[in-house]
Amino acid sequence: MDRPGRSAEADPSGAKAWPPLPFEEWRDTYATLHMWTQIVGKIRMALTPSVNHWWHVPLYVASRGLTTSPMPYEDRQLEILFDFVDHQLKVSLTDGATRSIPLAPRSVAAFYREVMALLADLGVDVKISTLPVEIPKPIRFTDDQQHASYDPQAVSRLFQILVQTDAVFKEFRGRFLGKSSPVHFFWGAFDLAVTRFSGRRAPGREKPDRVMDEAYSHEVISHGFWPGGEWPGAGTVESPVFYAYAVPEPAGFAEAAIRPAQAFRSRELGEFVLPYDSVRAAPSPRETLLEFMESTYVAGAELGQWDRAALERPSAVG
């Protein structure tokens, strides 16, 4: 049963709380917004002190959209918010200064110029790499005239999904006593994720990779939400999915029995996935998503010989 006060109580079907978001219907907006979040995310990465596993890089779900959280700059701090309610990009500083620009159709190149000019006007001098990451055929922000769409209704639906997912992910995170990541939005792949750690270091990777070596320096089981899109080597995923994976992947994990029945191992993605549409159509989307997260975690933790009794709250150990 859903908890009192949750939106699902007023909308048992989940239709409003978990709206549809077919990839094809907002493909162009998605591509544009992805690049905009990379620009702001790179600003956060440039200004924020490094944290293990790249935890200084992501954005976070906030009450009105996605935020950098406060970032230090000289004797001030600044925050950049994608306000998906009023559809504004808002910049605020601890000295009281604020600026905003509308989130509306414009090219990535134009957005980049406006953001950098806005920061300069506030006395913030920051330099970032203008080359996008984790996408095929990247175009530098300064040159990208191709992506210039913004559908506020589609973005509002995305935000509603992120709000609901963020709440479930935080509930799942709270069941764990061991080291766990914040629930955060990685702008590189455009996914919301939460990760549990066994406490043991992971074996070294065959091919050294600075990004991956830092991300997966320790054993993890990770869960996330991805709206779909281009996946390297797998073509286009046309609908949103929840995912689960383990690094390193223990023997037998790919063949593990998981729940609910709609979840499966994706050969193309190399991960367990649960279609978002299966969650939103369920009598309780929250319970369905938690079942997926718990069953995939238990499978990975058991096969990986994690010390579950020490890592989980007693009520969460099955």
Percent residues over pLDDT 70 in the chain: 93
Q: Domain end: 143, 178, 204, which one?
A: 143
Does residue 4 register a pLDDT over 80? no
8 occurs within a structural domain:
no
Structurally, how many domains does the chain consist of? 2
Query: Is residue 199 domain-shared with residue 82, that is, in the same domain?
Result: no
**200 with 121, same domain?**
no
Q: Look at residue 258 and give its three-state secondary structure.
A: coil
Q: Are residues 175 and 131 in the same domain?
A: no
Domain boundary among 143, 164, 183: 143
In a shared domain, residues 139 and 166:
no
210 lies in some domain: yes
**Rounded mean pLDDT of the chain?**
93
**126 and 257: one domain?**
no
Query: pLDDT class for 41, splitting at 50, 70, 90?
Result: very high
User: How much is the pTM?
Assistant: 0.93
Within-domain flag for 17: no
pLDDT tens per residue across span 270-310: 999 999 999 999 999 999 999 999 999 999 999 999 999 99
Instruction: Tell whether 168 and 95 lie within a shared domain.
Output: no
Determine the average pLDDT of the residues in 158-170. Answer: 98
269 in the same domain as 156: yes
Using a 10 angstrom Cβ sphere, with 0-12 exposed, 13-18 middle and 19 or more buried, the burial of residue 262 is middle
From 118, 143, 168, give the residue that closes a domain. 143
Q: Say yes or no: 303 and 173 in one domain.
A: yes
pLDDT range class, residue 268, cuts 50, 70, 90 = confident
Indicate if 264 and 310 belong to the same structural domain.
Answer: yes
pLDDT in tens, 127-139: 999 999 999 899 9
Answer yes or no: is 221 within a domain. Answer: yes
Q: Is residue 9 pLDDT above 80, yes or no?
A: no
38, 46 in Cβ contact below 8 A?
no
pLDDT, residue 131, reads 98
Q: In this predicted structure, what is the pLDDT of residue 10?
A: 45
Q: Could you give the CA distance from residue 129 to residue 132 in angstroms, rounded to a whole number?
A: 8
The residue-averaged pLDDT of 100-113 equals: 98
Please indicate, yes or no, if residue 15 is contained in any of the structural domains: no
Same domain? For 89 and 162 the reply is no
Q: What is the pLDDT of residue 14?
A: 59
Q: What is the pLDDT of residue 279?
A: 98
What local confidence, expressed as pLDDT, does residue 205 receive?
75
Structural domain range at position 30: 23-143
What DSSP assignment string belongs to 84-129? TTTTEEEEEETTS-EEEEE--S--HHHHHHHHHHHHHHTT------
Nearest in space to 245 (alpha carbons), one of 212, 283, 288:
212
Q: Does the structure show a pLDDT above 80 at 315?
A: no
pLDDT digits (tens, 9 = 90+) for 183-230: 999 999 999 999 999 999 999 877 888 889 999 999 999 999 999 988
> Is 127 found in the same domain as 45?
yes
CA distance 161 to 165: 6
Is the distance from CB of 23 to CB of 236 less than 8 angstroms? yes
DSSP string, 23-87: GGGGHHHHHHHHHHHHHHHHHHHHHSPP-GGGTTS-BEE-SSEEE---EEETTEEEEEEEETTTT
The angle subtended at Cα 267 by Cα 262 and Cα 268, nearest 5°, is 110
- The CA-based dihedral angle spanning residues 191, 197, 203, 208, taken in that order and rounded to the nearest 10 degrees: 30
Residue 11 lies inside a defined structural domain of this protein: no
* 124 and 166 assigned to the same domain: no
- Which range is least confidently modeled, 53-62, 165-174, 196-205? 196-205
Kind plus residue range of the DSSP H or E element containing 283:
none
Answer yes or no: is 14 within a domain. Answer: no
Tokens representing 70? 């406060």
Helices (H), ranges, 126-206? 152-173
259 within domain boundaries:
yes
